[in-house]
Amino acid sequence: MTYDSVTFTSGGVTCDAWHFTGTDELATSAGRPVVVMAHGLAGTKDSGLEPFAVGLAEAGLDVLAFDYRGFGASGGSPRQVVSMAAQLEDYRAAMAAAARLPGVDPQRLVLWGVSLAGGHVLAAAAHRDDVAAVVSLTPLVDGVAAGRHALAHHKPSSMLRSTVEGVRSRVGAQRLMPVVAAPGELGALTLPGAREDYLAIAGPTWRNEVDAAVGLELGGHRPIKEAKHVRAPLLVQIADFDRSAPPYAAAKAAFKGRAEVRHYPCDHFDVWPGKDWFEPALEHQVAFLRRHLAASAVS
């Protein structure tokens, strides 16, 4: 399946996106439902999102997969900076752009997010009636809980080193560190196997660099508070042995959002293409969306 390259503007910056046109399985006279899709921490749309997008398009949904400002093919500077406020603004701008795509129903927006974006979709969907469904895959929904979770898997000295680099980047000139690195090295993700798992899906625009202040930014990230305000049907997919995004926080958000929950006996990256739990995760997304969007098409 092919896609069209499109752009939209967010915060005065041009963001790059791919538009996959879906089949007419879920179409009504108003058009097809459309998924807005984004990656997790420092991720780019060419890093593993396409197989998810293709699977959803074949099930009858258009998909708009985009890069946040400062990442991948999108514009913006400084580069490689994770700003929760800016990424949420980009997500909302992508929703507006998706609603303008030819052949789509602007009242049947579907928000899809993984990891860090799995939290963004909760905030982006809150209080809205034009969102028809939300998919939150292995979400990071609570920065405080994530910090506690990290302490169980990292040496305190390693976390302190990253924090010091973050403070230096925040108060002085920008300091970049690897997104993924080997255990004991400086990086945002240094758990055993994380580097290999991320590099396995990394696309040509992805860079193994992120502003070192990302840890400070994550500390205030709490989209779990918005879960109770999501009016649309919500699917939360939890990796029960997730070492990166605390599964108990995801479960708590799911309860607040009255979500359908799917559990997978795996780690954070094991739901990605090439891994054992990719197909089940995608099949559950398709079944969930068909069930709820077919119902909305009839009504």
Residue range 28-61, pLDDT digits in tens: 999 999 999 999 999 999 999 999 999 999 999 9
Name the band, by pLDDT with cuts 50, 70 and 90, for residue 162.
low
Comparing 15-24, 207-216, 256-265, the range with the smallest average pLDDT is: 207-216
pLDDT at residue number 149: 72
Q: What percent of the chain has a predicted confidence (pLDDT) above 70?
A: 92
Instruction: Please determine, for residue 298, whether its predicted confidence score (pLDDT) is greater than 70.
Output: no
Residue range 257-275, pLDDT digits in tens: 999 999 999 999 999 999 9
For the residues 230-236, what does the mean pLDDT come to? Answer: 98
For the residues 126-151, what does the mean pLDDT come to? Answer: 89
Average pLDDT of the residues of the chain:
92
pLDDT at residue number 145: 86
Encode the chain in three state secondary structure.
CCCEEEEEEECCEEEEEEEECCCCCCCECCEEEEEEEECCCCCCCCCCHHHHHHHHHHCCCEEEEECCCCCCCCCCCCCCCCCHHHHHHHHHHHHHHHHCCCCEEEEEEEEEEECHHHHHHHHHHCCCCCEEEEEEECCCCCHHHHHHHHHCCCCHHHHHHHHHHHHHHHHCCCCEECCECCCCCCCCECCCCHHHHHHHHCCCCCCCCEECCHHHHHHCCCHHHHHHHCCCCEEEEEECCCCCCCHHHHHHHHHHCCCEEEEECCCHHHHCCCCCCHHHHHHHHHHHHHHHHHHHHHC
pLDDT at residue number 215: 84
Instruction: Please determine, for residue 137, whether its predicted confidence score (pLDDT) is greater than 70.
Output: yes
What's the rounded Cα separation, in Å, for the pair 204 and 170? 28
Contact partners, residue 46, CB within 8 Å, separation at least 6: 72, 73, 203, 204, 205, 206
Burial 87-104 (b: 16+ CB within 10 A, else e): bbbbbbbbbebbbebeeb
For the residues 107-133, what does the mean pLDDT come to? Answer: 97
pLDDT at residue number 172: 74
Domains (range + CATH), the chain? 4-143+221-298 (3.40.50.1820)
Comparing 16-20, 47-51, 143-147, 234-238, the range with the smallest average pLDDT is: 143-147
Tokens of 290: 């068909």
